[in-house]
Amino acid sequence: MGRLELIKDLLNERVLQNPRVLRAFKEINRKDFVPADLKNMAYENHPLTLESGQTISQPYTVAFMLDLLEAGPGQKVLDVGFGSGWTTALLSKIVGSKGKIFGLELLPEIYNFGRNNLQKYKLKNIKLFLGSGWDGLPDFAPFERILVSASASKIPQALKDQLKVGGRLVMPLADKITVLDKIGEDNFKTKDHWGFVFVPLIKHK
């Protein structure tokens, strides 16, 4: 399967419905973010394995979550568990030159892999940090959008605190994807989408 075939298949599966997400998928090549020995599988619609038991998420899942996130031009976004850097690059294109993406990754070997991948695109609106998604990045909060690419039993309180009022967080919880909208300082609305599998959100190195 080629790159354009993958995008066509995703459209047929009713994702990439957001025009900015679709444009980002066309501009950012997943092949640039997979390990060298998996390049021939870059456009397959399933997860691919990284070091330390981590994965590059299935294209359908990434497209689905980005559609749900509804990030837009000029927004400040926290990308938790940026892994290969693919979602970070996609988000960079979605928010545009006036937006800012803050990527957070716990494992040093994955952090370095993702950072090296992102350097291929020379994106100027991304800052990367080594740290735990359970802590977030309080020094740079609040964020208008938060995307989490690893699963937990609950949404970390730090991330709820760091989400701007009026903002949205998208995160896997067990075998579902949860959309959390912050409608007041301590007031949240959630919606669940079932049928997904993710690697766990690690607390410590």
Q: What is the pLDDT of residues 52-94, one digit of tens each?
A: 778 888 999 999 999 999 999 999 999 999 999 999 999 999 9
Closest listed residue to residue 90, CA positions, set 74, 76, 79: 79
Read off φ and ψ for residue 190, nearest 5 degrees. Answer: -125, 155
92 is an active site residue: no
Query: Is the alpha carbon torsion for 177, 56, 91, 141 positive or negative?
Result: positive
**Residues 4, 51, 157, CA angle at the centre, nearest 5°?**
90
Give yes or no for a contact between 57 and 85, defined as CB atoms under 8 angstroms apart: no
Banded pLDDT at 204 (limits 50, 70, 90): low
DSSP 10-54: HHHTT---SHHHHHHHHHS-GGGGS-GGGGGGTTSSS-EE-GGG-
Give yes or no for a contact between 39 and 95, defined as CB atoms under 8 angstroms apart: no
pTM of the predicted model, to two decimals?
0.94
Tell me which DSSP letter residue 158 carries.
Answer: H
Tell me the per-residue pLDDT of 19-61, one tens digit each, with 9 for 90 and over: 999 999 999 999 999 999 999 999 999 889 887 778 888 999 9
Which of 52, 57, 84, 151 is catalytic? The answer is: 57
Banded pLDDT at 200 (limits 50, 70, 90): low
Give the per-residue pLDDT at 18. 95
Burial of residue 127 (CB within 10 Å: 0-12, 13-18, 19+) is exposed
Q: Residue 8 pLDDT more than 60?
A: yes
**CA distance linking residue 198 with residue 38, whole number of Å:** 19
Two tokens, residue 4: 């354009």
Tell me the per-residue pLDDT of 149-165, one tens digit each, with 9 for 90 and over: 888 889 999 999 999 99
Q: Residue 201 pLDDT more than 80?
A: no
As a whole number, mean pLDDT of residues 132-149 equals 96
The SS3 call for residue 1 is: coil
Give the per-residue pLDDT at 198. 58
CATH class, domain 3-194, is alpha beta
Q: Where are the domains of the chain?
A: 3-194
Give the per-residue pLDDT at 151. 83
Give the per-residue pLDDT at 168. 98
Closest listed residue to residue 100, CA positions, set 124, 83, 82: 124
Mean of pLDDT over the chain: 92
